[in-house]
Structure 1
Amino acid sequence: MKKILILTLISLLSTLVSAQDNLISNTGSRKSLSLNGKWQYIVDPYETGFYDYRYKELKETNKDAYWNTDVQANKTEKKEHGYVDKYSLEVPGDWNHQQPEFLYYEGTVWYKKSFDIERGNAGQRYFLYFGAVNYRADVYLNGKKLGMHKGGFTPFNFEVPQELLKEKDNFLVVKVDNKRHADEVPTLNTDWWNYGGITRDVKLITVPATFIQDFVLQLKKNTTGKAPEKEVEGWVKLNQAPAAGETVTIEIPALKFKKEIQATGQITALSFKLPKIQLWSPDNPKLYQVTLRTRHDQTTDRIGFRTIEAHGTQVLLNGKPIFMRGISVHGEIPQEMRRAYSEEDAAQLLHQSIELGCNMVRLAHYPHDEKITRLADSLGILVWSEIPVYWTIDFGNAEVLEKARGQLTEMITRDHNRASVIIWSVGNETPVSPARTTFMHNLLIKARELDNTRMLSAALEVNYSALNDKNVIDDPLGEFVDLVAFNEYLGWYGGLPDKCRTTSWDTPYEKPLFISETGGDAKGGFHADSLTRFSEEYQEWYYREQIAMIKRMPAKFVGISPWVLNDFRSPKRNNPLYQDGWNRKGFYDEKGNKKKSFFLMKAYYDEMKTKYDKK
């Protein structure tokens, strides 16, 4: 009990000071230099470039350190490292798919990029921004360490002292380490491929001395009635306290709206009314260009305005009940066996989802690339976004809690202006215990503090050994979430699909009920009778029984996100005939072909769309 109380105190105190406080949001509207493209690399499984032979960290000035220049001062100087074009990797991109020898590699790779800049005025500030690096990144520029970041799926940035930058031949080095550890998030054991590398965009951002670091604008709760004006609220955050008399101007040209607000400090609250606004929804994904301007800086974004809430046992979007026709999605392009990162990748995954009949995606089990949430805004697809608190992390470890809170903060900071994101999830299939519930509750408290306008949830798990005909999802975490979501695989991990005929589900919490996962494996193109595991016919039978069971769900049932859109790579799946390193639960196989179950689920979703369109 004492340990849990200490954990809670540490968690609450840490909300006051966060390492993520300097994260710059909406970087796409900033003046920047892209550092994408070819980077030279050194594979360093023994971390020779970081530690000496006594395994002590090298001093910053040590010439043997791989963050220092590889150019000999003269022919007598000893150099045992070097960066050459022969060893190059594309950034963004995981290393696993780029070279055959990297397929299973987990360890350290040093990345090096040279670049030139055009210097601006003396008051400008520079930040190196990374969309994501998996998992640990140590960043050095011209021999000086800028900082270290942990977390494989969220953005971070480090300020670059202007005096450190050179006009020519800046020497940028990133030590990337994707080894798994018991005290990290995620932990040692996951059911997805541990893609290593600089997996998302890298850029050098230029901003004025005082700049708009972040802002939030969204509809105030309970403002979705028929009144012609809608109330908007939020805040704007400057990187430092403003000068006396500083103002913030908000402009929305499409609405002929312009308002000037006096800055009241580093963070200034915003509140105003907008006339004749079109609300964002899947049927009408209306986005408005919004510009915020100060005396020295401006930032522009495309924002949709809508409300989302769990009201009793329903989910209300703009005050109206919705049914979430979802699909779980991994951030992976199976045809090329690589991590998704581009606009084209986002388009593939979301258009596959639309073809299935979905109006919602569960982005599992980690925050996906920003390009997919922005495209979801444009396409009108609802999004569940999640941090990788997965299975059995160390719930009694205060440092692990802080790492999870950091990733949660970075996820929310990046996407809190995305209308498509309606659910923040703090984890998946975490085993029930007092320490776990306290840990997860603390994450929910933090999420609520950062954003109280969206629903909060976590994917709860089912104990198949305790299943009976009437099953109640009574996980104690249900008290703290807005949406009670659970993963069930009845017919794959528990019994055969016909077990669904006598099974029902409910929860004691008077809250919306959502199936966050269900599915069974099928190898694309393998056909047999419906009793044969791994056949398309077995998976088809599975979904036929699941859909019949779902139609008997209680009235509080508000949607489902089956597992999973595409087959995806997993080292845990080693049946040599049917899996061969792939989780085969996708509606699409690894070549993009639809399985028979696809058409069953699409027919059900079409039926549910028609039903809700009539309401």
Structure 2
Amino acid sequence: MRVPTALTTLAMLSMIAFSGCEIGIREGVLRKDLSGIWKFKADPNKVGEKEGWFKEDYDDSNWRDFKVPGVWNEGRDAGVAWNYSGYGWFRRRFTVPKGWKGYRLDLNFLAVYLIADVWLNGEHLGTHRGGYTAFRFDVTDKLNYDGPNLLVVRADNTGRRFQVPWHSIDWWNCGGISREVYLERRPLFSVQRLFITPHLTPEAGIDLDVDFEDRGLNPSEVKAYAEVEFEGRTIARTNLITLRPNRNGRWHLSHKIHIPDPHPWSPDAPNLYQLSFFWKVKGGKTWWRIPEKFGLREIKVRGTKLYLNGEEIFLQGVALHQDYPEMGSAVSKRAQREDLMRIKRLNANFVRLGHYPFHPYSLDVCDEIGLLVWMEIPVWQNSPEELADEGMYRNWVKPQLDEMIDQYYNHPSIIFWSVGNEFSRAWLPDKEPPQTIGYVRRTTEYVRSRDRSRLVTYASAASTGYGTWRFLDVIGKPLHYGWFHSKNVYDVRSQVELIHKYAPDKPILAIELCGMSEEGHHAGYGADERWSMEYHDKLLRVLLQSLMVRKDYVCGVTVWTLADLKGGRERGTYGLFTRDRRVKFLYDTVRNLFTRDPKLLIIEPKTLFQPGETFEVELWEFNRLRRDFRNCKVKWWITGLKDGRYSKLASGEMKADIPANSSERIGDVRWQVPEGTIGFHTLNVRLLNAEGKELFFNDLHFDVARPTPPAILRVDVADKKGRPIEGAKVKLEDLEKTTDYLGTVHFLMPEGRYRIRVICR
């Protein structure tokens, strides 16, 4: 049998690499974690630099101990007010590990908010602007290898105009060293950047692009190769590649690698490959290795539809902030994973990371569990004057775009790069400020020049952004009708049609759908009372279902947000969970609408009816699956109090055929509200297949005569050890619900006494 050339080459290479004159393969990057206890002092009067707080002989013995990563606005005894903005100084001494001399050494900060000045052994290394991306300094020639080194950081979280983000934002500008700090060791000739661009057409494979940095070795040539593993098995290898510098002295490698028997990455099957890249300078004894995970994924737009790996996809998403009690924005890895798992368990396939690049670990988790990602830089409601400012672009916008792309490029979960959020001010066509149009055109063109494997967009509020949509792959729309953009939530239906009218060839992604509420504030579904739990629930129900039925040009919906947050200029109580992650009954609403397909949706005109009036709603099917459901049946019934007892007041049924990948109106429910009727009522609808098995259940809560808060019954099912039981069936009267991973269900009922039955294994 003839052995393929690539395999033969690798076999020869292995023998060479491990012969007696070689020392084998070593990791291309080693890290020493500098997290832990630092010294901290606030500097509200900005005197620290003048007084030499960065100097080696400065006495910091009276400074506070401060655990890094951490922020001074929450979770640390920092000696400042919870809302302090200004300078904060950090000092830490460290030693260089033995054996690291003779290598390139960098200080790598994963994030410091917002402006960081860094000193090492009294020498100013530089300034970094931007609070959510990593930055590094080459300190090879600045370290003391035989004794302690002093690292000093001054963080500044002051809000200002003409910066990103600016002075007035909707989340808290927590100041400090919010992510890890590392001392990193690399060989003198090392990989600067490694990009993996996947493709499935015309054949499955990756484009590998590698840039190198040479710190004084000046080799005449370099040998390199790569191998790809899937589930622990090597499935692809390159030949041995010889590299030489180009005419500009730049070292670069571009190579295509075919992937046999491909396993695409998707939310349903988040298959991850691992690439190992190896290199060795001529005359050197060591092969250096860089590992990098990737997924085979293609995202495209065709007309008003979104396609993942060649198949249409509808996004069911939840937005998230990196914000947690006692942590602020310095969220632990465990808490990051738990939040993303909460989103995944809702049957969401999409997360909007708002409004900034998240900790790299969060993206690792999204890759692993299968969540598609929208990532953006925090250009949040900046004015047209700021968007047109060249200084802001050069110092803040472009660097953060570059850092976002460079640092997160290889994550298959990321399908959208966003250049900002809600800075449009035009509410009519042809009224967009030219500065805004110029900014969107400039930034989207620049991002595409860096990466053509993803979609480029931004979030333009409500019906703004007409002048910029031609530059976008997908129109991202925060649609806060009923809260910010209109007092009437039902206006969302006409407004999304208006957007489609002016951009008929673009998909619309509802990137924020929200309300806010306060715990314990109840007013009933007919009250439309802001800050009540019922109104918050109603907003999510109306917004989600009204947009789902526009599936022909709406490509996804996104709930804002998973959990309440420490707000900036707003209260921040948007969440399906409280800030300390206690579940609200709103969670059940979203979980139900996201969990199963096909869905049966309810489109109502209002939630307060009067006796003698005709209650009338539309029923729609929504099917993301690529299969039909024929000879289905819809059963509906209305419940409320009659003579003081919970009763079925009306019922009916209708037939339904549900086509594959569709959203169509099935029929209507009509009920003449009897005179004397009053209080809280519910329309229950159940979709059954041809065999009578339930496919979907939905409900609509409404009031008659006057707003009446429902009684809210929470049922928690646990085993003898107190562990939540998922999948338990809880029956109450004519209703049946299944517990989630928290072991919890909620029932909204008229006040009264009820019998509950729980069935679980």
**Counterpart secondary structure, 2:201:** coil
Which segment is superposed worse, 154-163 or 340-349?
340-349
Residue 210 of structure 1 contacts residue 297 of structure 1 at CA under 8 Å; is this kept in 2? no
The 5 Å alignment of 1:62-101 reads 64-70=51-57, 82-84=59-61, 87-97=64-74, 98-99=76-77, 101=80
The 5 Å alignment of 1:514-525 reads 514-525=509-520
Q: 2:223: which partner in 1?
A: 247
Q: C-alpha deviations, 1:297-342, integer Å up to 9, x for none?
A: 3211222121111222211111111111111111111x43611432
Residue 86 of structure 2 contacts residue 156 of structure 2 at CA under 8 Å; is this kept in 1? yes
Q: 2:436: which partner in 1?
A: 436
Shift of 1:551: 3.3
Q: C-alpha deviations, 1:228-272, integer Å up to 9, x for none?
A: x62321301111497333122111132332213332542221212
Q: Is structure 2 residue 591 aligned with structure 1 residue 599?
A: no
Q: Is structure 2 residue 293 aligned with structure 1 residue 302?
A: yes
Matched residues in 1 for 2:509 and 2:244: separation?
A: 42
Residue 118 of structure 1 contacts residue 167 of structure 1 at CA under 8 Å; is this kept in 2? no
Residue 241 of structure 2 aligns with an amino acid whose one-letter code is I
Residue 503 of structure 1 contacts residue 549 of structure 1 at CA under 8 Å; is this kept in 2? no
Q: 2:262: which partner in 1?
A: 277
Q: Is structure 2 residue 185 aligned with structure 1 residue 206?
A: yes
Residue 267 of structure 2 aligns with an amino acid whose one-letter code is P
Residue 72 of structure 2 contacts residue 80 of structure 2 at CA under 8 Å; is this kept in 1? no
Q: Is structure 2 residue 416 aligned with structure 1 residue 423?
A: yes
TM-score by length of 1: 0.84
Matched residues in 2 for 1:502 and 1:216: separation?
A: 43
**Counterpart secondary structure, 1:110:** strand
Q: 2:508: which partner in 1?
A: 513
Higher strand share: 2
Q: Which residue among 374, 392, 403 is the counterpart of 1:384?
A: 374
Q: Which residue among 96, 110, 125 is the counterpart of 2:89?
A: 110
Q: Give the total of aligned pairs.
A: 543
Residue 32 of structure 1 contacts residue 205 of structure 1 at CA under 8 Å; is this kept in 2? yes
Q: 1:10: which partner in 2?
A: none
Residue 612 of structure 1 aligns with an amino acid whose one-letter code is R
Distance change >3 Å, CA 222–CA 525, structure 1 → 2 = farther
The 5 Å alignment of 1:463-474 reads none
Q: Which runs of 5+ in 2 are unaligned?
A: 1-26, 246-250, 281-286, 425-431, 600-622, 628-761
Measured on the aligned residues, the alpha-carbon RMSD in Å equals: 2.1
Shift of 1:496: 2.8
Distance change >3 Å, CA 163–CA 101, structure 1 → 2 = closer
Q: Which has the higher contact order (CA 8 A, sep 6+)?
A: 1
Q: 2:390: which partner in 1?
A: 398
Q: 1:467: which partner in 2?
A: none
Q: 2:469: which partner in 1?
A: 478
Larger radius of gyration: 2
Q: 1:136: which partner in 2?
A: 115
**Counterpart secondary structure, 2:534:** helix
Matched residues in 1 for 2:228 and 2:453: separation?
A: 22
**Counterpart secondary structure, 1:270:** strand
Shift of 1:123: 3.4
Residue 181 of structure 1 aligns with an amino acid whose one-letter code is R
Distance change >3 Å, CA 122–CA 585, structure 1 → 2 = closer
Q: C-alpha deviations, 1:202-253, integer Å up to 9, x for none?
A: 0000111100111111323634xxxxx6232130111149733312211113
Q: 2:311: which partner in 1?
A: 320
Matched residues in 1 for 2:392 and 2:101: separation?
A: 40
Matched residues in 1 for 2:327 and 2:517: separation?
A: 18
Q: C-alpha deviations, 1:399-446, integer Å up to 9, x for none?
A: 111211100110111110001111110100012411122112211122
Q: C-alpha deviations, 1:523-543, integer Å up to 9, x for none?
A: 133322232221111111112
Residue 326 of structure 1 contacts residue 561 of structure 1 at CA under 8 Å; is this kept in 2? yes
TM-score by length of 2: 0.69
Q: 1:526: which partner in 2?
A: 521
Residue 504 of structure 1 contacts residue 549 of structure 1 at CA under 8 Å; is this kept in 2? no
Q: Is structure 2 residue 35 aligned with structure 1 residue 49?
A: no
Matched residues in 1 for 2:62 and 2:361: separation?
A: 29
Distance change >3 Å, CA 474–CA 552, structure 1 → 2 = farther
Q: 1:192: which partner in 2?
A: 171
Q: 2:406: which partner in 1?
A: 413
Q: 1:551: which partner in 2?
A: 548
Q: 1:612: which partner in 2?
A: 624
Shift of 1:448: 0.9
Which segment is superposed worse, 380-389 or 162-171?
162-171
Residue 460 of structure 1 contacts residue 475 of structure 1 at CA under 8 Å; is this kept in 2? no
Matched residues in 1 for 2:341 and 2:62: separation?
A: 37
Distance change >3 Å, CA 556–CA 113, structure 1 → 2 = same
Residue 200 of structure 2 contacts residue 309 of structure 2 at CA under 8 Å; is this kept in 1? no
Matched residues in 2 for 1:477 and 1:276: separation?
A: 41
Q: 2:479: which partner in 1?
A: 488
Distance change >3 Å, CA 219–CA 328, structure 1 → 2 = same
**Counterpart secondary structure, 1:371:** helix
Q: 2:533: which partner in 1?
A: 536
Distance change >3 Å, CA 41–CA 547, structure 1 → 2 = closer
Residue 501 of structure 1 contacts residue 545 of structure 1 at CA under 8 Å; is this kept in 2? no
Distance change >3 Å, CA 101–CA 218, structure 1 → 2 = same
Distance change >3 Å, CA 41–CA 30, structure 1 → 2 = same
Matched residues in 1 for 2:351 and 2:142: separation?
A: 45
Residue 130 of structure 1 contacts residue 203 of structure 1 at CA under 8 Å; is this kept in 2? yes
Q: Percent identity?
A: 27
Q: C-alpha deviations, 1:476-523, integer Å up to 9, x for none?
A: 221111111111111112123344566543433312210011111111
The 5 Å alignment of 1:345-356 reads 345-356=335-346
Residue 565 of structure 1 contacts residue 588 of structure 1 at CA under 8 Å; is this kept in 2? yes
Residue 340 of structure 1 contacts residue 346 of structure 1 at CA under 8 Å; is this kept in 2? no
Distance change >3 Å, CA 478–CA 268, structure 1 → 2 = same
Q: Which residue among 290, 314, 323 is the counterpart of 2:275?
A: 290
Distance change >3 Å, CA 378–CA 29, structure 1 → 2 = farther
Shift of 1:29: 7.0
Matched residues in 2 for 1:83 and 1:609: separation?
A: 64
Matched residues in 2 for 1:197 and 1:234: separation?
A: 36
Residue 70 of structure 1 contacts residue 83 of structure 1 at CA under 8 Å; is this kept in 2? no
Residue 103 of structure 2 contacts residue 140 of structure 2 at CA under 8 Å; is this kept in 1? no
Residue 388 of structure 2 contacts residue 438 of structure 2 at CA under 8 Å; is this kept in 1? no
Matched residues in 2 for 1:545 and 1:42: separation?
A: 49
Higher helix share: 1
Shift of 1:166: 3.3
Q: 1:261: which partner in 2?
A: 241
